[in-house]
């Protein structure tokens, strides 16, 4: 089990996990025989907790047995064999200046497609909906577990994203405390709401809906490049109406979100070839907490390297304005959306 350590002074957190692997191999692995997430290789992972199988026009939720691994799945969920956090309690606590606590939590992998070459930018809209339904299901379950204060949901796509498995998948990692970034966002949102009586993200949506940074809109969601992005071509996807709980959105909303996710990620990867990116769900803590945030998704394209300015001081230098980025992405995403709607 890893240690959750804090900086000497700041609330910056680091998980020290000597056995965990990060991707340092730039050579693309296309050998499906060695991919643990490909069909036929189910024994290379932990047993599935959910295996979504399409049968007779219906989706069945099955799970692996000791000697009976589910075949023919379209989405598969299992505990990571190299978890970032663990529910074991072997480690001890220590106080500052050498603060440490056990990195307690659950780490699940959601395989987004049985096809090795599929990515989150190429799977079809229906498959995205299947994936989101499973993620929502696991999210609800995790929040019933003791010691779960927050569940992070993120995607690492491409060789520079930090993933050590090429096959398209989603990580779900729970924490016993709010991650610093979410804690800061929740605190700032709560402060603005108390001062102005309005949700700051609702203000942002109203501002960006008809502005130069808008990329794409669906019935219930808007995609836009933020006013002060940390990354070139960074964009966010946000519910148009005030909503603090992803776990409670309806099937119709999931289908709508799937469409805009597929169109924007497809447009992004068509606009910038061989791109690596990270995607993170910014969600409210589901357990009772007055500091709720208007949930949304943030996408961070990795188009270059950080300099000392970013790493040393947290001041980000962006080489393209969000207005110009939105113009380029908007055209690519609208084209992708037209193709998707035409196919369907």
3-state secondary structure of 276: strand
State how far the Cα of 233 lies from the Cα of 319, in Å rounded to an integer: 10
Percent of the chain residues past pLDDT 90, beyond the cut: 74
Dig out the tokens for 174 from the structure: 């729970």
Greatest Cα-to-Cα distance within the chain, rounded to the nearest angstrom: 60
327 CB-contact burial (10 Å; exposed 0-12 / middle 13-18 / buried 19+): middle
The whole-number average pLDDT for the span 289-308 is 90
Confidence class of residue 32 from pLDDT cuts 50, 70 and 90?
low
Confidence class of residue 216 from pLDDT cuts 50, 70 and 90?
very high
Confidence class of residue 344 from pLDDT cuts 50, 70 and 90?
very low
Q: Which residues are catalytic?
A: 169
Domains of the chain: 3-343 (3.30.428.10)
State how far the Cα of 326 lies from the Cα of 211, in Å rounded to an integer: 10
Q: What is the Cα Rg of the chain in Å?
A: 20
| CA nearest neighbour of 103 among 9, 187, 170, 18 | 18
Do residues 235 and 300 touch, judged by C-beta distance below 8 A?
A: no
| 196 or 290, which is more confident | 196
| 37 or 8, which is more confident | 37
State how far the Cα of 328 lies from the Cα of 342, in Å rounded to an integer: 22
| pLDDT recorded at residue 113 | 97
Q: Which of 61-70, 90-99, 121-130, 309-318 has the highest mean pLDDT?
A: 121-130
The mean pLDDT of the chain is: 91
Confidence class of residue 16 from pLDDT cuts 50, 70 and 90?
confident
pLDDT per residue over 129-171, tens digit each?
Answer: 999 999 999 999 999 999 999 999 999 999 889 888 999 999 9
| pLDDT recorded at residue 22 | 58
Confidence class of residue 26 from pLDDT cuts 50, 70 and 90?
very low
* Residue 248 DSSP label: G
Dig out the tokens for 66 from the structure: 């000791």
Do residues 83 and 48 touch, judged by C-beta distance below 8 A?
A: no
State how far the Cα of 68 lies from the Cα of 285, in Å rounded to an integer: 36
State how far the Cα of 296 lies from the Cα of 110, in Å rounded to an integer: 19
The count of C-alpha atoms lying within 13 angstroms of the C-alpha of 113, restricted to the half-sphere facing its C-beta, is 18
pLDDT per residue over 78-129, tens digit each?
Answer: 999 989 998 876 667 888 898 888 889 999 999 999 999 999 999 999 999 9
| 24 or 42, which is more confident | 42
State how far the Cα of 46 lies from the Cα of 195, in Å rounded to an integer: 49
The H or E element containing residue 110 is strand 107-111
pLDDT per residue over 226-257, tens digit each?
Answer: 999 999 999 999 999 999 999 999 999 999 99
pLDDT greater than 80 at residue 5? yes
Do residues 281 and 153 touch, judged by C-beta distance below 8 A?
A: yes
């Amino acid at each position: 089990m890893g240690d959750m350590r804090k900086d000497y002074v700041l609330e910056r957190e680091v998980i020290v996990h000597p056995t965990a692997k990060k991707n340092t191999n730039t050579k693309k692995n296309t050998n499906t025989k060695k991919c643990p997430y490909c069909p036929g290789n189910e024994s290379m992972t932990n047993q599935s907790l959910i295996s979504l199988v399409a049968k007779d026009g219906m989706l069945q939720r099955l799970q692996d047995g000791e000697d009976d691994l589910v075949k023919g799945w379209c989405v598969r969920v299992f505990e990571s064999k190299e978890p970032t956090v663990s529910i074991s309690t072997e480690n001890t606590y220590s106080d500052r200046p050498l603060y440490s606590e056990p990195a307690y939590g659950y780490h699940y992998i959601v395989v987004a497609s049985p096809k090795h070459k599929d990515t989150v930018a190429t799977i079809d809209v229906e498959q995205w909906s299947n994936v989101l339904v499973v993620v929502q299901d696991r999210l609800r379950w995790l929040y019933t577990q003791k010691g779960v204060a927050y569940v992070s949901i993120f995607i690492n796509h491409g060789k520079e994203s930090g993933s050590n498995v090429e096959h398209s998948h989603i990580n779900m990692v729970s924490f016993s405390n709010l991650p610093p970034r979410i804690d800061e966002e929740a605190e700032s949102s709560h402060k603005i709401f108390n001062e102005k009586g309005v949700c700051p993200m609702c203000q942002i949506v109203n501002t960006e809906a008809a502005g130069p940074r808008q990329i794409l809109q669906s019935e219930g969601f808007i995609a836009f490049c933020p006013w002060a992005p940390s990354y070139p071509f960074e964009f966010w996807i946000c519910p148009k109406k005030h909503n603090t709980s992803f776990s409670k959105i309806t099937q119709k909303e999931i289908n709508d979100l799937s469409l805009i996710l597929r169109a924007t990620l497809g447009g992004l990867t068509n606009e910038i070839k061989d791109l690596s990116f990270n995607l993170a769900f910014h969600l409210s803590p589901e357990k009772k907490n007055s500091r709720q945030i208007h949930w949304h998704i943030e996408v961070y394209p990795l188009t270059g390297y950080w300099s000392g300015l970013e790493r040393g001081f947290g001041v980000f230098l962006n080489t393209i304005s969000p207005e110009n980025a939105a113009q380029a992405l908007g055209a690519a995403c609208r084209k992708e959306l037209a193709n998707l709607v035409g196919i369907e």
